[in-house]
Amino acid sequence: MSRAIALIDGNSFYCSCERVFDPKLAGVPVIVLSNNDGCAIARTAEAKALGIRMGEPYFKIRQLCRSKGVRVFSSNYALYGDMSARANTVYRQFAPDVEIYSIDESFLDLSDVRERDRLALARDLRSTVRQWTGLPTCVGIGPTKTLAKLANHIAKTVPELGGVCDLSNEAERAAWMVGISVGEVWGIGRASRARLEAMGVDTVADLRDLDPRPARASLTVVGERIIHELRGRACLPLEIVPARRKGCAVTRSFSSRIIERTVLEQAVAAHATRLGEKLRRDGLAVSAVTVFYHTSEHDRGDPMRSVSTVVHLPEATNDSRHLIQAALHGVAKTWKEQGPTPWRYSKAGLVTTDLVPLDEAPRPLFDALDREKSGALMAAMDACNSRFGRGAVVPARAGLMEKRTWSTKFEMRSPRFTTRLAEVPAVSAIM
DNA sequence: TCTGGGGTCCTAGGACCC
DNA sequence: TCTGGGGTCCTAGGACCC
């Protein structure tokens, strides 16, 4: 049986999640904004038709949104994450081997399904997901991940296909490739596209016909793999068990510029607390943390400053208290007293790259941390926050949630319909 | 005329993705 | 006034080693 991979993804995923809980949003333009209500990061077809581009700053389109009746939402990751998990449980009923690629995309292994049955299965999958979760999706099928991605692109852009496209057949594949721009290929971004077009490579078919080995010179080994994948030779395996993550970052823009050291300290302490939560969830630990903070590139004319410093910990840890200490130390050794024209900082964050499983991390011979105590305390804190909501219990240095004046804005956020009991939608019926 | 040859590890920067 | 966050992978170049 030939290899077959399906890529299923949610259409305008974040917007669709909002629509599930408000039928009035059907047929009207909807957008969802990035953190801090900064940019448009999800748009329905109606919003795209109004010319709203991906990543467009909200302040530039606010008037347009108002005059055209665009419904605008802040990001609601609790909702989107939960809806994503629900969709994946449906996918698994159709194909047990699923790679969750992103919050709105999954690869499914359909190799055991006969070629002539694949389209029917894809249609069934789509309508089941729609019925059980309310989410609209598209499905692309191909012998490699890159071709499944391409098929998904076709399913999304050619309405007559009804949201599904199977590129298992080589001749059909070739016919489509002639008409699609090379920039649509997964892994070909702006820079590679420009380089390819300069070489006279304009369509997907042109790219497929390049000699893979020499193409390495301009596209690196990544490009070489893409060409093989377009020819139907798989280079990218399906990753059903997620690989261990290599880095972890918590970075946020402030809701407004900050000048005071104490505020910056509270922010990095809060980021450190969040970092600890993420690390503990995965059983990982770090022995060094990069602390950074900087002014904004958009504040032209203001004094600029960008700080980044590495703080080493005595031993690998995921205890929030140790991470907070490290973060504060990072500020202490880089802070410069403010003068008459102060630096107005716009963003701060913590980045780590040397993740190790806590139970594999080496211990110091002397003065080792008491991991039992630390683990019990952190587990108790995590349990409280999981039961009563994030921020129910926080280290004092991180500040109470409602007192964090610097923290990210979400002024148009919908309720957490599916993950907070107090926010479950109420339904009334008239008999 | 004429540089030694490999290795590894680390970092910075670029590119790409969602 | 107002411009996101979090990942991965690859390459080049320097430091260092034998």
Q: Å from A216 (CA) to B2 (C1')?
A: 32
Q: Å from A294 (CA) to C14 (C1')?
A: 28
Average of per-residue pLDDT across A425-429? 86
Rg (chain A; Cα; Å): 25
Measured CA to CA, the distance from residue A50 to residue A68 in angstroms comes to: 8
Question: Which bases of chain B are under 7 A from a protein CB atom?
Answer: 14-18
How high does pLDDT run on average in chain A?
Answer: 95
Give me the percent of chain A exceeding a pLDDT of 70. Answer: 100
The pLDDT score that the predictor gives to residue A24 is 95
Q: Which amino acid is at A308?
A: S
Give chain A residues 86-105 with Cβ within 7 A of strand B.
Answer: 101-105
Give chain A residues 311-340 with Cβ within 7 A of strand B.
Answer: none
The pLDDT score that the predictor gives to residue A369 is 87
Average of per-residue pLDDT across A209-217? 94
Q: At residue A272, what are phi and psi to the nearest 5 degrees?
A: -65, -40
Are A138 and A151 in contact by the 8 Å Cβ rule? The answer is no
* Shortest-distance nucleotide from A299 CA to C1': C3
The two tokens of residue A366 are: 């002397």
Q: CA dist A69 to A29, A145, A370, Å?
A: 7, 38, 58
The two tokens of residue A393 are: 């219990």
The pLDDT score that the predictor gives to residue A131 is 98
Measure the CA angle with vertex A92, ends A89 and A97; round to 5°.
135
The two tokens of residue A302 are: 């203001």
Q: CA dist A362 to A83, A246, A376, Å?
A: 39, 18, 20
pLDDT in tens, A101-142: 999 999 999 999 999 999 999 999 999 999 999 999 999 999
pLDDT band at residue A431 under the 50/70/90 scheme: confident
Give chain A residues 235-254 with Cβ within 7 A of strand B.
Answer: none
Class in CATH terms, A247-398: alpha beta
The pLDDT score that the predictor gives to residue A195 is 95
The pLDDT score that the predictor gives to residue A170 is 97
The pLDDT score that the predictor gives to residue A366 is 84
Which secondary-structure segment (H or E) carries A286? strand A284-295
Nearest residue to nucleotide C10, by CA–C1' distance, is A220
A301 φ/ψ sector (left φ>0, alpha ψ -120 to 50, else beta): left
Q: Which residues touch strand C (CB under 7 A)?
A: A 34-36, 38-39, 41, 55, 57-59, 62, 216, 220-222, 243, 245-253, 256-257, 278, 296, 298-299, 346-347, 349, 408
Centroid of chain to Cα A242: 15
Domain A5-165, second-level architecture: 2-Layer Sandwich (3.30)
Give me the percent of chain A exceeding a pLDDT of 90. Answer: 90
pLDDT in tens, A150-187: 999 999 999 999 999 999 999 999 999 999 999 999 99
CA-closest candidate to residue A259, choices A399, A406, A401: A406
Q: Å from A114 (CA) to B17 (C1')?
A: 31
Nearest residue to nucleotide B14, by CA–C1' distance, is A191
Measured CA to CA, the distance from residue A306 to residue A289 in angstroms comes to: 17
The pLDDT score that the predictor gives to residue A362 is 83
Q: What is the DSSP letter of A53?
A: P
Q: Is the CB of A193 under 7 A from strand B?
A: yes
Average of per-residue pLDDT across A46-73? 96
pTM, two decimal places: 0.95
The reply to whether A247-398 shares the fold of A170-231 is no
CATH superfamily of A170-231: 5' to 3' exonuclease, C-terminal subdomain (1.10.150.20)
Nearest residue to nucleotide C2, by CA–C1' distance, is A59
pLDDT band at residue A365 under the 50/70/90 scheme: confident
* Residue ranges covered by each domain of chain A: 5-165, 170-231, 247-398
